[in-house]
Structure formats: structure tokens, C-alpha cells
Amino acid sequence: MSTPASPRIAFIGGGNMAQALITGLKQRAFAMQQITVIDPDAGKHQQLQDKLGVRTAAALSEQALQADVIVLAVKPQQLKAVAESLAPLLRSQLVISVAAGIRTADLSRWLNGYRTLVRTMPNTPAQIQAGVTGVFALAEVNDAQRQLTDSLLQAAGEVVWLTDEAQLDAVTAISGSGPAYVFLLIEALTKAGVALGLDQAQAQQLSIATFKGASLLAAASETPIATLREQVTSKGGTTEQGLLSLNQHDIHAIMQHAAQQAANRAKTLGDELGAQ
């Protein structure tokens, strides 16, 4: 298959993740009329058409699936039923799943042995092209299809290709779920600012700008992250006291445990739903 200049894409599921990916594509001036979103919730259709300019359909059909790429963007619990309905309608489309936990072996079985499959784990900052997506492709996915996958996902931000599918559970725990950890930390830092006497709006502005600035500096700098941290930490100064408290509460263990729990859940989802 050669890479189509402007591929047609059918999203099955028009929720949070589909909308984040489509918004990223829209910002890259991708032709929105090339995208069809299939979602049973008719209430969402007008909103998807008005906000994003995509086509919509309420159910799977040959017509709705006239696409080069099909993105499976339903909940993991909905994927088996969707895949089984999709199987007889597949021709030669590239199928990309964003579902947490669900392994390509199970998805392929539900799709009646179809193996032109890519499994990904994006994240919601995709909507401002600041996402990062982990990607694993089956051997049957050819070079042109890999390039197509890469260029579509680049519209959402950075792309990390994996050769071991099992690593996607770790990617899910770190960057798939990660934005929620960061939002929680922003909420917590904001709350701390309010407790110290700032008003809510000021505290939130300071917290967000600090996460943004530190992240941009870490990304732009060749300096090790630990050194960047040390550059903030004056001897006998304020940061030292703040970090001492975070380390007394073992921030590393807290993050390690959170990520492990998320990865365990991804594996359990794969085990339980894949066994259906």
C-alpha cells in the first residue's frame, strides 16, 4: 500500500481520546471532511460536526468504513463487541487501537484473524499537539502503513515506537495516565498556595506556569534533570526544605507505586477482557 496523501480515517468511538487526536489533526490542517466518527450517541454528532467539522455516523457500515485507517477509540470493555461487528466489514484498512490493556493477539482473534493492526497508547495533550504516543505494530503492517501511522500520530505530538508489545502497559502507566498525575500535582500545589495566603487564581497561575516552565526547560536542556533540580536548590535555602519534606514522604516510592498500580490494571484489563 502506498501512503495516501490525505488518508481517510474512520474513528470508532467519538469520546475524549478520539476528540483529542482529531483536534491535533485539525491543528495540523488535516482535512476534517476526510474523517468519519462512528458513535452510537447521536447527541454527540452535532457537537462533533460543529466543533471539529468531521462527518459522523451512528453505526458501522461499509460506507462509514470507506477509509484507509480505522481507529478503535472505544473503552477496552466495549472493544470485543465492536471488533466482532467490524470483522466482516474489513477490507484492507489499517486498524489502529488506542485501547488500554487489550493485546493485539486478542484483538486480532476478535477481528477474525485480521493482522494489519497497530496498538498505541496516546495521551490527551494530543489536542494541543503536545501528546506522546507509544506504538507497537504487528509484523504484517508494512513500511508505508508504519509511515502513515507515524505521520498521523506526529500530529498529536511525539511518537515512541516499541518492539516489545508488553512495554505498552508501562507506557500506559507513565504517559497514558500521566497527564492525570500531573493535573493532580497542579491541583495540590495550587491548594498549597491558597493555604499560604494566595488567592485561587494566582495560586493556579503560578502552579501551571511552574509545571510548564520546568517541563519546557527539562525538554530543551541537555543538562541532567537531577542537575536542573540542584540548580534550584540553594544551600540553606527554601527549596532544600521543600524537597526534604517530599523525600521524607518518599516521593519516589509514591510515584513508583502509582505507576505500578496503573500498569497492573493495564495487565489485568488485558488478561480479563482478552480471555472473553
- Catalogue the E-assigned strands of 102-207: 117-121, 131-137, 157-161
Is 127 a binding residue for ligand A1CAB by CB under 6 A? The answer is: no
- Residue 142 grid cell: 508494512
Q: How far is the CB of 144 from ligand A1CAB (least distance, A)?
A: 28
Is 15 a binding residue for ligand NDP by CB under 6 A? The answer is: yes
Q: Are strands 94-97 and 117-121 parallel, antiparallel or unpaired?
A: parallel
Pairwise CA distance, residues 107 & 39, whole Å = 19
From residue 57 to residue 96, the character string flagging contacts with ligand A1CAB as x (rule: CB under 6 A) and all else as - is: ----------------------------------------
Q: How far is the CB of 102 from ligand A1CAB (least distance, A)?
A: 11
- Residue 81 grid cell: 463487541
DSSP class of residue 136 equals E
Q: Which does 233 bind (CB under 5 to 8 A by kind): ligand NDP, ligand A1CAB, none?
A: none
Amino acid symbol at 265: R
Q: Judged by CB under 6 A, which stretch of 128-136, 145-153, 171-179, 186-194 contacts ligand A1CAB?
A: 171-179
Contact call for residues 7 and 152 (beta carbons, < 8 A): yes
Is 76 a binding residue for ligand NDP by CB under 6 A? The answer is: yes
Contact call for residues 7 and 30 (beta carbons, < 8 A): no
Residue 145: how many CB atoms within 10 A of its CB?
22
Is 100 a binding residue for ligand A1CAB by CB under 6 A? The answer is: yes
Q: Which does 12 bind (CB under 5 to 8 A by kind): ligand A1CAB, ligand NDP, none?
A: ligand NDP
Q: Considering only CA atoms, which of 266, 58, 54, 67 is closest in space to residue 171?
A: 266
DSSP class of residue 115 equals -
Is 74 a binding residue for ligand NDP by CB under 6 A? The answer is: yes
Amino acid symbol at 118: V
Pairwise CA distance, residues 152 & 135, whole Å = 12
Nearer to ligand NDP, 40 or 224 (CB): 40
The arrangement of strands across the sheet holding 55-57 comes to 55-57, 35-38, 9-12, 69-72, 94-97, 117-121, 131-137, 157-161
Is 172 a binding residue for ligand A1CAB by CB under 6 A? The answer is: yes
Q: How far is the CB of 173 from ligand NDP (least distance, A)?
A: 11
Q: Which does 82 bind (CB under 5 to 8 A by kind): ligand NDP, ligand A1CAB, none?
A: ligand NDP
Q: Which does 94 bind (CB under 5 to 8 A by kind): ligand NDP, ligand A1CAB, none?
A: none
Positions touching ligand NDP (CB under 6 A) are 12-18, 38-41, 73-76, 78, 82, 98-100, 121-124, 176
Positions touching ligand A1CAB (CB under 6 A) are 100, 172, 176-177
